[in-house]
Amino acid sequence: MNKLVRAAVVSAALSALTVFGAAAQTFTKPIRVIVPYPAGDLADTIGRLLSPKLKEALGQPIVIDNRPGASGLLGLQVALTGANDGHTFVLGQMGSMAVAPIINKQPFDVRDEFVPVAMTYTNYMLLVANPTLPAKTFPELLAYSKANPGKVRLATNGEGGFPHLAMELLRERSGLDFVHVPYKGSGQPVNDVIAGHVDITIAGFSSMYPQVQSGRLVPIALTGKARTNNAPAVPTLGETVRGYEALGWFGFFAPKNTPAASVNAFNAAVNAALKMPDIQQRADALGLDTSAGTPAQFGTVWREDYDKWAKLIRTLKLDAK
């Protein structure tokens, strides 16, 4: 073990011990983490990745409770109907906390009913094309789409999903011309781009890049803030379209009126876990960027993204469907 790794391990261990000392007075029974998605979903994977570290730091078992349904609404409702004693948290993502609430017109405002606790990761998407498409870069794709209006067919996992919204934002910011072809689910769009039935698609980097490495798809650009070490040759869309980015995120929330001591102790435990080398290594493999911070910082990201996507959703009139 080299000196840098050893120092990181020691620092993470000391942080965990500090958190445990504070949490021992705060958490007195198992901690319930509601995941509004099915087992195997990326949010579920993140919850199960972090839960052993949180158990060590907080001194209580972490119970992952999968409650999928209604684009995350079911899990949120379960959290709100439980005992508000500081032992219930929700592992949400941008889709369930800043997109679905606008499109699906939920019976409550998530911003009023939940408080941010700890942001964990951001993730980015990869825009790819069938190898036979003449365009191999985003500037080429942009020029090709404008020269051939209505010809570029974009496949996504559904109307109003984050991939669709990211591309509509790109259309708004760049003038990219495409015809949206929505699917139900994320598997078939990729298969149909590979088969040449549609031209381009966009989805999470970790799920798409293996197809790029095999030569079945051509990487156009990333939606993140910066290039990734996993694929340094692939540019970001922001390199062509100034200011553009479309990042997903994952993080913990709690029902309103959750004691501040519970929020702060859980936040500290999450931040300590995110620094641990084994956790960082696994996150890198999943195409996730660590994004630790305070509850207030997470709240700022949440509310800014809520407003950003709400404006686009209403412009597209997706909230009226």
How many whole angstroms separate alpha carbon 213 and alpha carbon 268?
A: 38
- Could you tell me the two tokens for 140? 């080429």
Q: How far apart are CA 85 and CA 90, in angstroms?
A: 14
Other CB atoms within a 10 A radius of the CB of residue 221 amount to: 25
Positive or negative: CA dihedral 297, 110, 36, 244: negative
- H-only helix segments in 59-117: 73-81, 94, 100-103, 110-113
* Angle between helix 295-315 and 260-274 (nearest 10): 90
Q: Which CATH number among 3.20.20.240, 3.40.190.150, 1.10.10.10, 1.10.3720.10 corresponds to the domain 3-123+247-320?
A: 3.40.190.150
Q: What is the pLDDT along the chain (321 residues), one digit of tens a residue?
A: 455 445 544 454 455 455 555 555 789 999 999 999 999 999 999 999 999 999 999 999 999 999 999 889 999 999 999 878 899 999 999 999 999 999 988 889 999 999 999 999 999 999 999 999 999 999 999 999 999 999 999 999 999 999 999 999 999 999 999 999 999 888 899 999 999 999 999 999 988 999 999 999 999 999 998 999 889 999 999 999 999 999 999 999 999 999 999 999 999 999 999 999 999 999 988 889 999 999 999 999 999 999 999 999 999 999 866
The position carrying tokens 């500090």 is 18
Model confidence, pTM: 0.86
Q: Distances from the Cα of 310 to the Cαs of 52, 190, 246, 315, in angstroms? A: 36, 27, 14, 8
* Domain spans of the chain, in order of start: 3-123+247-320, 125-239
* Sheet with 114-123, side-by-side order of all strands: 62-66, 31-35, 88-93, 248-255, 114-123, 288-290
Q: State both tokens at 263.
A: 């929020």
Q: How far is CA 91 from CA 16, 113, 129, 137, 179, in A?
A: 20, 15, 32, 36, 34
- Residue 79 structure tokens: 């959290």
Residue 213 burial (CB < 10 Å; 0-12/13-18/19+)? exposed
CATH assignment of 125-239, given 3.40.50.1000, 2.40.40.20, 3.40.190.10, 3.20.20.150?
A: 3.40.190.10
Is the fold of 3-123+247-320 the same as that of 125-239? yes
Query: Tell me, what's the pLDDT at 82?
Result: 80
Which among 13, 1, 19, 12 is positioned nearest to 268, based on CA atoms?
19
Residue 246 phi/psi, 5-degree rounding, is: -140, 95
